[in-house]
């Protein structure tokens, strides 16, 4: 860089306002005061009102800055826990060849939800609704020996399923972001150990997002196999009825230092020993017989993850085999494990909201603190806010600073709507007295805290909540 180049760059940065990107006066947050008529469920209503998404066409959404921050945080948690469980990340394309699906027998069976297309050479293609076929051929062509097993490959990618009536926003859209993992093992016994790893990993994934998920035995559907669990969170606006033992609501989450190479069956057995079922497979007589009346929970639930073990359903037709210890080719035992990353944004909102808007858990909040300047342009409040903003940002706290000229009521309404965990309010009177107001969005509790201590108080509270297990 030429002499003086750094100074010029700094000047340009200041001119363009990059260092103030999280100042609301320069942010892109198109909130809506009224509920859009097309939004039928709470999460869809609030995501539109909070300026998180905008519909591009039926069931397809553009993710705006606030929504994208949440989406990325969820994906990061999923990625972190999948890596911890020994899964290896790849990235597969959105467009797949129809030939693979014809080999597996699913091309015609999948139905009209599959978006079928042709390229310019009239080759049949499709926008991937899932990736069992493609990952099976990738693994088939890359692994030859049992010595290379077990393996688990995953990716986080956009999928498309042409829902006949795409309603409910990102909860039931046509295009969605999903994590798929796929395990490859020599035997069914070892394959079930891979299944258990994902089971335990999923408990941790959702707990880290501030959610209590309940694994429930589930139908396998078009994926296939005979072993499957849905991970359900309870929400009044949930899409299906669920029935479970009350003790599952306080189940133990596997610790951060969990040994994924050890025997995880006790964890799985403990979580699956108590009754839990969706309405699709609910057995009322069994529920009454196994669960005491005072422990019966009947509620609504939202599926946020689904795991399957399907043996050789794909490895056989696609010839995914390795040479066993005796030299005999063996078709691999497989499982697949999905997390609806974009769906989770809506699911979390369904479980975490009140009459005023969203109530984000700290680990997935787009920002952790909303700093509200009640009199922008006032020298004292501006100075205090700038100092606090810099102190929090330097400590790694994510702050959205409302430095706009809006009236106080509008500022509070916006902060409640977007649901940041903490609101830090600075007004002329408080600033003059050396006091700040902190509001806990979840509880609604407000505290007056000295300005010289408020940043450290928030830093301690937020950092203690970032990793919940």
pLDDT tens digits for 265-286?
999 999 999 999 988 889 999 9
pLDDT at residue 20, as a whole number: 59
Residue 440 to residue 446: CA distance in whole angstroms:
6
Burial class (CB in 10 A: 0-12, 13-18, 19+), 426: buried
The position carrying tokens 């020298």 is 379
Residue 134 to residue 329: CA distance in whole angstroms:
21
pLDDT at residue 222, as a whole number: 54
What percent of the chain clears pLDDT 70, i.e. is strictly above it?
Answer: 93
Tokens standing for residue 42: 């709470």
DSSP state of 253: P
229: helix, strand or coil: strand
pLDDT at residue 220, as a whole number: 56
Higher pLDDT pick, 218 / 38: 38
Instruction: Determine phi and psi for 426, rounding to 5 degrees.
Output: -125, 120
Q: Secondary structure of 23-78 in the HEC alphabet? A: ECCCCCCCCCCCCCCCCCCHHHHHHHHCCCEEEEECCEEEECHHHHHHHHHHHHHH
- Concatenated DSSP letters for 264-306? -HHHHHHHHSS-EEETTT--HHHHHHHS-GGGEEEEEEEEEEE
* Architecture category of domain 367-465 in CATH: 3-Layer(aba) Sandwich (3.40)
Please state whether the peptide bond connecting residue 150 to the residue before it is cis, i.e. omega within 30 degrees of 0: yes
pLDDT at residue 348, as a whole number: 96
Question: Contact 177/158 with Cβ under 8 angstroms?
Answer: yes
Banded model confidence at residue 110, pLDDT cuts 50, 70, 90 = confident
pLDDT (tens digit per residue) in 367-409: 999 999 999 999 999 999 999 999 999 999 999 999 999 999 9
Our measurement of the distance from residue 389's CA atom to the centroid of its chain's CA atoms, rounded to an integer in Å, reads 28
Q: Per-residue pLDDT for 18 more than 80?
A: no
Burial class (CB in 10 A: 0-12, 13-18, 19+), 223: buried
22: helix, strand or coil: coil
Question: Contact 449/435 with Cβ under 8 angstroms?
Answer: yes
pLDDT at residue 420, as a whole number: 98
Q: Per-residue pLDDT for 127 more than 80?
A: yes
Question: Contact 418/22 with Cβ under 8 angstroms?
Answer: no
The per-type count for the chain, helices as H runs and strands as E runs, is 13, 23
- Concatenated DSSP letters for 176-218? EEEEEEEEEESSHHHHHHHHHHHHHHHHHHHHHTT---EEEE-
What's the whole-model pTM score? 0.92
Parse the chain into domains and list their residue ranges: 60-354, 367-465
Strands 53-57 and 60-63: antiparallel
Banded model confidence at residue 466, pLDDT cuts 50, 70, 90 = confident
Question: Contact 200/267 with Cβ under 8 angstroms?
Answer: yes
Rounded to an integer, the average pLDDT of 99-126 is 92
> Torsion-angle region of residue 182: left (phi > 0), alpha (psi -120 to 50) or beta?
beta
Residue 442 to residue 445: CA distance in whole angstroms:
8
Rounded to an integer, the average pLDDT of 326-332 is 95
Alpha carbon distances (Å) from 169 to 62, 232, 420: 11, 19, 21
* Alpha helix segments (H runs only) across 95-154: 98-104, 132-142
pLDDT (tens digit per residue) in 42-93: 999 999 999 999 999 999 999 999 999 999 999 999 999 999 999 999 999 9
Q: Per-residue pLDDT for 238 more than 70?
A: yes
60-354 and 367-465: same fold? Answer: no
Query: Residue 162 contacts by C-beta under 8 Å, 6 or more apart in sequence?
Result: 112, 113, 114, 115, 174
The correct answer on CATH 3.30.930.10 for the domain covering 60-354 is yes
pLDDT (tens digit per residue) in 147-189: 999 999 999 999 999 987 777 899 889 999 999 999 999 999 9
Residues in the chain: 469
Q: Per-residue pLDDT for 304 more than 90?
A: yes
Rounded to an integer, the average pLDDT of 116-137 is 95
pLDDT (tens digit per residue) in 417-455: 999 999 999 999 999 999 999 999 999 999 999 999 999
Q: Per-residue pLDDT for 204 more than 90?
A: yes
**CA count, 13 A, side-chain hemisphere, 304:** 31
Residue 256 to residue 246: CA distance in whole angstroms:
25
pLDDT at residue 9, as a whole number: 42
């Amino acid at each position: 860089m030429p002499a003086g180049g750094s100074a010029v760059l700094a000047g340009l940065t200041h001119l363009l306002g990059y260092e103030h990107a999280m100042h609301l006066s320069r942010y892109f947050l198109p909130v809506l005061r009224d509920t859009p008529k097309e939004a039928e469920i709470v999460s869809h209503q609030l995501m539109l009102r909070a300026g998180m998404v905008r519909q591009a066409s039926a069931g397809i959404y553009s993710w705006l800055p606030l929504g994208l921050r949440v989406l990325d945080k969820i994906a990061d948690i999923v990625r972190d826990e999948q890596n911890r469980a020994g899964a290896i990340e790849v990235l597969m394309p959105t467009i797949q060849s129809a030939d693979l699906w014809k080999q597996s027998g699913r091309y015609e069976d999948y139905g009209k939800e599959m978006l079928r297309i042709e390229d310019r050479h009239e080759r049949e293609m499709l926008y991937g609704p899932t990736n069992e076929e493609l990952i099976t051929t990738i693994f088939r062509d890359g692994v030859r020996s049992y010595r290379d097993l077990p393996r688990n490959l995953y990716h986080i990618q956009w999928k498309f399923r042409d829902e006949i009536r795409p309603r409910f926003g990102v909860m039931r859209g046509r295009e969605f972001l999903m994590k798929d993992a796929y395990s490859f093992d020599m035997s069914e016994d070892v394959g079930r150990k891979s299944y258990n790893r994902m089971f335990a990993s999923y408990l941790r994934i959702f707990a880290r997002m501030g959610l209590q998920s309940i694994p429930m035995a589930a139908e396998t559907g078009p994926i296939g196999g005979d072993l499957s669990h849905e991970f359900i969170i309870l929400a009044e606006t949930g899409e299906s009825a669920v029935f479970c033992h009350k003790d599952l609501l306080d189940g133990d989450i596997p610790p951060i230092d969990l040994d994924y190479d050890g025997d995880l069956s006790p964890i799985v057995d403990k979580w699956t020993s108590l009754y839990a079922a969706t309405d699709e497979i609910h057995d009322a007589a069994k529920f009454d017989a196994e669960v005491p009346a005072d422990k019966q929970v009947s509620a609504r639930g939202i599926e946020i993850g689904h795991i399957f073990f399907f043996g050789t359903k794909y490895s056989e037709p696609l010839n995914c085999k390795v040479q066993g210890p005796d030299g005999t080719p063996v078709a691999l035992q497989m499982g697949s494990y999905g997390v609806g990353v974009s769906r989770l944004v809506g699911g979390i909102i369904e479980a975490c909201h009140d009459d005023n808007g969203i109530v984000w858990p700290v680990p997935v909040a787009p920002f952790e603190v909303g700093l509200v300047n009640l009199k922008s342009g006032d020298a004292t409040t501006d100075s205090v806010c700038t100092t606090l903003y810099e102190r929090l940002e330097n400590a790694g706290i994510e702050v959205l600073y409302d430095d706009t000229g809006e009236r106080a009521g509008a500022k509070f309404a916006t902060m409640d709507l977007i649901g940041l965990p903490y609101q830090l309010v600075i007004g002329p009177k408080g600033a003059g007295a050396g006091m700040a107001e902190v509001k806990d969005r979840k509880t609604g509790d407000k505290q007056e805290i000295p300005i010289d201590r408020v940043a450290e108080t928030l830093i301690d509270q937020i950092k203690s909540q970032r990793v919940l297990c």
